[in-house]
Amino acid sequence: MLSIAAISLSYSAPASVTRPSEVWDKATTEAHGIVWRGNATIKPLPHETLATEVLPDAFTWCNKDGVNYCTMSRNQHIPQYCGSCWAHGSVSALGDRIKIARGAKGIDINLAVQHILNCGDVGSCHGGSVDGPYQWIHALSKSGTGIAYETENPYLACSSESREGICSAGSWTCTAENVARTCSTFPPMGKCTGLKRYPNATISEYGSISGATAMMKEIYARGPITCGIDASPILKYTGGIATMDGESIDHVISVVGWGNDPVEGKYWIVRNSWGEYWGEMGYIRVKFGKLLVEDQCAWAVPATWTEFNVDGNYAEGASPNFPCYEDGSNC
């Protein structure tokens, strides 16, 4: 993303651009037991103690000392439209933090948004919250397992109430097959089955955050975060620094860093979940204080993740993969 930092164009929204909100209101959020305060247990937190003076003018995890710690860009809109930005933003930021913990070594770990849609009960294709995904993953982590990887539960843009596209042809409840699955061969000889043992990731804690300074400290110290944004003004965004004030939070994204433009000043480097065809290859730059990006954010700390190390020497947080048969019969 630093390669475009020299572009100082500002972006203003076209008139009369609106969209349905994909973020629950306060009453709906609280009715699902989701709270803003989070449950951070480690005190004090990095964003509470890190000196402001150590923060650089520009910083991004997508190019830190020449290393890219950012995971894949996603598209919540295929194979049909699904308002699951709230799950995409949190999963992307957590995937980045796992990559940071691994020192960017090995194949990227991409987590399953569909697992949250099927089992989280903290949102659907018709909306969710900034904090809900991490609260669910933390509760799941206490059970001895975590969120599945994308390869055993690919994103299909459906939730239990969805009827669009392919969604009416399937079931999206939290069955074993909708957590992690594989299919052995063509029916009637083969079948699809749920896996009891599967690669997954857990978190040790999570929390809520707001305000530019606290956000910068948290990002700099531990990695990308997920935040709400007013997306109505950026539906037709094609590049530059967005400078609109914003009216209400209706979308969720992940923030991977910030830059400093000679004209507009500091801006957030934001990864969206609308695919790489949109914006600046799926990213947007948002001027500090604009589009409500600084109002509602959340973070999570990786605890464990599954990987394979040929020499058997696993770093802290990494756990060895249990090898399943091709048909999953031993898992």
Catalytically annotated residue among 47, 115, 138, 251: 251
Q: Is 85 assigned a catalytic role?
A: yes
Confidence of residue 33 (pLDDT cuts 50, 70, 90): confident
Q: Is 153 assigned a catalytic role?
A: no
Q: Which string of b and e fits 22-57 if b means at least 16 CB within 10 Å?
A: bbbeeeebeebebebebebeeeebebeebeeeebee
Catalytically annotated residue among 70, 82, 85, 158: 85
Average pLDDT over residues 179-195: 93
What's the mean pLDDT when you consider all of the chain? Answer: 92
DSSP string, 223-253: --EEEEE--GGGTT--SSEE----SS--EEE
Contact 286, 294 (CB under 8 A): no
Average pLDDT over residues 55-61: 97
What is the token pair recorded at 277? 């065809």
What is the token pair recorded at 83? 């308002």
Burial class (CB in 10 A: 0-12, 13-18, 19+), 142: exposed
CA atoms within 13 A on the CB side of 273: 29
CA atoms within 13 A on the CB side of 147: 33
Q: Is 330 assigned a catalytic role?
A: no
Backbone angles phi, psi at 256, to 5 degrees: -105, -10
pTM of the model: 0.93
The whole-number pLDDT of residue 1 equals 40
- Residue 183 pLDDT greater than 50, yes or no: yes
Spatial neighbors of 62 by CB under 8 A, at least 6 apart, are: 1, 2, 68, 69, 70, 256, 257, 269
- Residue 3 pLDDT greater than 60, yes or no: no
The whole-number pLDDT of residue 48 equals 80
- Residue 321 pLDDT greater than 50, yes or no: yes
Catalytically annotated residue among 75, 110, 118, 272: 272
